[in-house]
Amino acid sequence: MMVSDSATLLLVAIRSGVRLSGQIRLAHVDATRRRELVLPLPRFETRTDWREAVEFFTTPGLGGTYTRGQPHLTLLLAKAHDTTLTLEEQVELSHLHAEYAYLKTTEELGQAWADGTRADPDELAALFAVRQWQRRSLDPSPTVLQRLAGVLWEMGVDYANHQPDRFQLHGPLPRALQAFFRGLDESSDLPDPWLSELVPRLFQALTEHTSTPRGDIWGPRGPKTLHQLTSGILRVVARHGPPTGAAGSNPVEDVATRDRIASWGEHLMRTVLRGITGDNSNEPTPFPLRFHSFDSKELPRVALDLLDAVASDLARLDQALGSRSLSPLLSAGIRLIGEHPSFSEEGSTGIPELLKHLADLLEAHPQRRFSQLLPELAERILRHAAEDPVRFWPIQTSAPSASPLVAITEQILTLAFQDMTEASSNPGFRPSDMVAIVDQVLTRCVDSPEVWIQPDGTPAEALQLGIRRWLALLTDRQPGRASPAQARRALEDVLDAVEGNPKPKTSPSRPAKTSRPKRTRRSPQTSKAAP
């Protein structure tokens, strides 16, 4: 019975996919037909000579007033009338005309000129972009929404027939579909195959997650968020995907790249919807995402920034991030941006830049396994930065190293990698140990920034000193190597000592658990690591 149901659903999906693809292709054809075309102006002579000058200065209403009190100009005009101008005088007269014509234009533009506004040739050139139909209402082709709505409706009906418990008559689905369609409608200029790659996937994700037994989980901002998310995903993937049929491109690679980006788009939609509905049953991550509602206005912004980061640097971030990282990064990013008092509505959150910066940093290490650190390091940085966003996440988003926490992470990794490269006897750190160590230090820095961070935001000397002392301690240990847990305890002691809270008896080989009265908060990871 189960197999039979699955097979039927599969057939429904395939049939719907084929129908949808056909309509999407037609929408693509419609968009091409109605596409604007810039028409070039025919060539005409823009050079003027002394004859236009004479007309300008002698025609009433043009430049006659400029000749008053200008005996030389009057003389030139008289000579022009008598056709006795020399070649040099002809040129002079035409240049005087150019100057006065310009002056006259500025005078006549009046207020527009006083406002500092000038006609930009680029903007004027854009005025000659001509649509196929002057008004949208004259275009007989259906809109993308009209093209797709029928098929999507049929898909929904088919799906509902086989999964009736997922659809409620008065549930959130109608609102969700409306928002989804609006997002699609904004994407009418997207080239195929982007539309045909993504729309069915997004639609499937939507229908699987919009029904919930917990009632209406969409909240007042819900439809707007879903609308922004849908149109944003389509926009981001189209911006970064390989252009279809570009000269010299490899079609097989292009299809693969498109598939990867489309998969990320779908995965983002599913992750967000899963977070909204609290359905974490299929969530492979240890950080289940749960938003209380769609009310977080930062949600689409952070989500689309993450997608933008992956799509723009697919070669590195696709593998380095992986599907498990999306939930925790999204949670941490939303909290940080939501609590930041200075972020404007526009512009980057700085999260894409952070991911790329960390990827650069980890690439410097010869052991590729450390590239796995990227998502967890990023998540820790974002999470700690949310403690005091103004201090730890300054709005210089194009330069992620402006964040003290990024600079500190960079310093720890640089020193640790350097130490490993020098083949010392430090513990065999696994990537998870490195994350715990960075988290440990970041927690300290957030709790006591005056000790570890200089007023200009750069790491204090004490930090480098502490890390070096700790690494030296590990190297000097005899006999054998310290376990990662012991190494973390040793780090705790060294940091305590630098902070001025040394314990009376501290042995690197058997470090005792310390208590630091200054600390008010420990990250869960750090607390777990210290037995």
Q: Which residue, 82 or 120, is less far from other proteins as judged by CB? A: 120
By CB under 8 A, tell whether 315 contacts other proteins: no
Cα dihedral 218, 219, 221, 223 in deg (nearest 10) = 30
Query: What is the CA 94 to chain-centroid distance, rounded?
Result: 53
Subset of residues 341 to 400 that bind other proteins, contact rule: CB under 8 A: none
Q: Who's near 176: CB < 8 A, 6+ residues apart?
A: 206, 210, 218, 222, 223, 226
By CB under 8 A, tell whether 250 contacts other proteins: no
Tell me the closest approach of the beta carbon of residue 377 to other proteins, in angstroms. Answer: 16
Q: Which residue, 44 or 478, is less far from other proteins as judged by CB? A: 44
Measured between alpha carbons, how far is 7 from 37 in angstroms, rounded to an integer? 47
Q: Which residue, 268 or 487, is less far from other proteins as judged by CB? A: 268
By CB under 8 A, tell whether 264 contacts other proteins: yes
By CB under 8 A, tell whether 78 contacts other proteins: no
Please list the residues that pair with 129 across neighbouring strands: 38
Subset of residues 281 to 300 that bind other proteins, contact rule: CB under 8 A: 282, 284
By CB under 8 A, tell whether 510 contacts other proteins: no
Measured between alpha carbons, how far is 276 from 272 in angstroms, rounded to an integer? 6
Measured between alpha carbons, how far is 337 from 392 in angstroms, rounded to an integer? 12
Other CB atoms within a 10 A radius of the CB of residue 120 amount to 9
Tell me the closest approach of the beta carbon of residue 495 to other proteins, in angstroms. Answer: 33
Tell me the closest approach of the beta carbon of residue 97 to other proteins, in angstroms. Answer: 7
Q: Which residue, 119 or 157, is less far from other proteins as judged by CB? A: 119
Cα dihedral 350, 408, 368, 306 in deg (nearest 10) = -20
Tell me the closest approach of the beta carbon of residue 89 to other proteins, in angstroms. Answer: 8
Q: Which residue, 362 or 490, is less far from other proteins as judged by CB? A: 362
By CB under 8 A, tell whether 96 contacts other proteins: yes
Other CB atoms within a 10 A radius of the CB of residue 138 amount to 9
Subset of residues 145 to 164 that bind other proteins, contact rule: CB under 8 A: none
- Give me the count of residues in the chain: 531
By CB under 8 A, tell whether 323 contacts other proteins: yes
Q: Who's near 128: CB < 8 A, 6+ residues apart?
A: 38, 39, 40, 41
By CB under 8 A, tell whether 275 contacts other proteins: no
Q: Which residue, 280 or 458, is less far from other proteins as judged by CB? A: 280
Interface with other proteins by CB under 8 A: which range of 99-107, 298-306, 330-338, 395-403?
99-107
By CB under 8 A, tell whether 122 contacts other proteins: yes
Tell me the closest approach of the beta carbon of residue 22 to other proteins, in angstroms. Answer: 9
In order, the DSSP letters of 292-341 are SSTT-TTHHHHHHHHHHHHHHTHHHHHHHH-GGGHHHHHHHHHHHHHH-T
By CB under 8 A, tell whether 255 contacts other proteins: yes
Provide the residue type at 47 as one letter: R
Tell me the closest approach of the beta carbon of residue 266 to other proteins, in angstroms. Answer: 6
Query: What is the CA 151 to chain-centroid distance, rounded?
Result: 31
Subset of residues 26 to 55 that bind other proteins, contact rule: CB under 8 A: 28-29, 32-33, 35-49, 51-52, 55
Measured between alpha carbons, how far is 289 from 327 in angstroms, rounded to an integer? 5
By CB under 8 A, tell whether 99 contacts other proteins: yes
Token look-up 């204090």 returns 460
Token look-up 């390091």 returns 377
Tell me the closest approach of the beta carbon of residue 393 to other proteins, in angstroms. Answer: 27
| Member of 70, 146, 263, 486 binding other proteins (CB under 8 A) | 263
Nearest to 230 by CA among 260, 198, 258, 208: 198
Tell me the closest approach of the beta carbon of residue 293 to other proteins, in angstroms. Answer: 24
Tell me the closest approach of the beta carbon of residue 448 to other proteins, in angstroms. Answer: 36
